[in-house]
Structures are given as structure tokens and as C-alpha cells.
Amino acid sequence: MKRLFEFLSDVLNGAEKSVLDFMSAVVPYAVPVIPAYLTYFHTQNMMGFPAWVAGTAAFVVEALGMASVSTAIRFWHNNQRYKSEANKAPFWLAFSVYVFYVVIILVVNVILENVAGTRNGLVILCIGLFSMLSIPSGVLIAIRSQYREMLEDRTAKKTGGKQQAEPAKQSYKEKHASDFKDRIPQMLNEEWEKNKRILTPKEITAKLKLDHGKNKGYVSTITSQWKAGNSDKFTF
């Protein structure tokens, strides 16, 4: 009987962790449904938008909010890792987009309610709080993604010594775009001088044999900085 209870305890503890991990991964993407509905309701009923336009507005506003807060956190994390100006991402630009999103949802979902005067102040406060639910959900998505990348980097460092017998495989796993911060601008210069065209981030990661999904953000940032520094050569 003791072994049975120990077995059941192990199963339940393992299931609990799996369920929590599943909910932590899925729930943040479902949270914006609530503020999206509030935006849909107010744009349709108080601003007179057609249903399909109100639905589109609800979707794009919440997508903008989640994307901007997630991008701002990623850029901030990047700037903490790299002190060189050449490697820094435009954090304040992403943050200003997030502030613009907050202004939109507060005006549409809170100020319009206050002007209409059909609900009491406590209800309007609750509407305002629900409208901003996508903020913590976007933050959670961003920090979970960063934590996953940190674990992958940590695992790669720990297993690096054990994979010396497979140099090609080891080399691919350990390479990051940041290792080529000087090489990438050089590649852009060479391609421009030779063919008068700008390499795309995907072409760069392919030439460097990098994982495009993991390195495209850094490569895009370096490419944008190279464009800004060479704007006298061409017109965008």
C-alpha cells in the first residue's frame, strides 16, 4: 500500500508540473481575448464601426500591444548583454510603440466609457484593468522565451567539451550571430561593392551557417545599423 501511494504521489507531482508548464505556455496567448473584446465592443457600439472593422481593430491593437512589449523586453535584454553601441537594439523606439498602444486602449475602452456616463466609476476601473491584461501576458511570453534561450545556451556550453569528437556538429551548435559582429558588416560591404545590392538577413545566416530563427533578430539589427551608417551610398 505504501508503494502504491508513493507511485501515485510521483505521478501526480509529475503531472502537476506538466500541467503548470502547459498553462504557462498557453494562457498568455489567450489573455488578449478579453481586452480585444472590450475594444471590439467600444469601437462598434460607441464609435459606430462596422462589425468587421471593429473586429480587425481589436485584433491589430492587441497584436501591437503584445508585440511591442515583447520586443521592448528583448531589446532591453540585448542591451544589457552588449555594451557596444554597434550591438545595441533600439529599445526606446520599441518602448514608445508600447506607450502608444497603452494610450489607444485607455482612450477607447476607458475615456469613452467615462464620457458616455452609463457606468459607475468602479465598473470603468475594472474595464481599464481588463483592457491592460495583454501587458503582463506579453511580458510573460518574452521572459519565458528568454529563459528558454538561456537554458539552451547553458546546455550548449556544458556539453561542448563532450562533443569534441564531432567538430562539425559542435561548431554549428556553438556559433551565434554575435560571434560575427565584425564579419557581417564586411559581408554587406563586399556584396554592395560587387553587385550593388544588400544581403538579406536570411542570406547572411545561410552564408554563416547559422540557425536563422535564433539569429535573424541580431542580424537584422546589424544590417539596419550598417544601412544607417552607409546611407550616403544609396537611397532606400
**Residues 72-109: pLDDT tens digits?**
888 887 888 777 777 888 889 888 988 898 899 889 98
What the block records as the C-alpha cell of 154 is 547553458
What's the average model confidence in pLDDT over 123-132? 87
Q: Residue 176 in contact with residue 215, Cβ under 8 Å?
A: yes
- E strand or H helix at 1, and its extent? none
**Could you give the percent of the chain with pLDDT greater than 90?**
9
pLDDT band at 140 (very low <50, low <70, confident <90, very high): confident
Is there a contact between 88 and 82 (Cβ–Cβ < 8 Å)?
yes
Are the C-beta atoms of 135 and 62 separated by less than 8 Å? no
Cα separation, 113 vs 110, in Å, equals 5
The number of angstroms, rounded, from the C-alpha of 198 to the middle of its chain's C-alpha atoms is 26
* pLDDT value, residue 55: 94
**Per-residue model confidence (pLDDT) at position 54:** 93
Mean pLDDT is highest, among 142-146, 152-156, 161-165, 188-192, for: 188-192
| Nearest Cα residue to 105 out of 28, 27, 41 | 41
- pLDDT-based confidence at residue 13 (cuts at 50, 70, 90): low
Q: pLDDT tens digit string along 208-226?
A: 888 888 888 888 888 888 7
Average pLDDT of the chain, as a whole number: 80
Q: How far apart are CA 121 and CA 126, in angstroms?
A: 9
Interhelix angle for 51-81 vs 212-229, to 10°? 80
CB 47 within 8 A of CB 117: no
Q: Show me where the domains of the chain are located.
A: 24-152, 167-229
Predicted confidence (pLDDT) at residue 171 exceeds the cutoff of 50 = no
Region 132-139: mean pLDDT is: 80
pTM over 0.75: no
Lowest mean pLDDT among 4-18, 55-69, 73-87, 133-147: 4-18
DSSP string, 60-107: HHHHHHHHHHHHHHHHHHHHHH--SGGG---HHHHHHHHHHHHHHHHI
Over residues 142-146, the mean pLDDT reads 75
Torsion of CA 55, 35, 148, 214, to 10 degrees: 30
The secondary structure of residue 154, as a DSSP letter, is H
Reduced to 3 DSSP states, what percent helix, strand and coil does the chain have, rounded to the nearest 5?
Answer: 80, 0, 20
Tens digits of residue pLDDT in 28-63:
888 888 889 999 999 998 899 999 999 999 999 888
Cα radius of gyration (the chain): 24
Q: At what angle do helices 91-106 and 51-81 cross, to 10 degrees?
A: 150
Please tell me the predicted confidence (pLDDT) of residue 2: 62
State the pLDDT at residue 236. Answer: 47
Residue 1 and residue 84: Cα distance in Å, rounded?
63
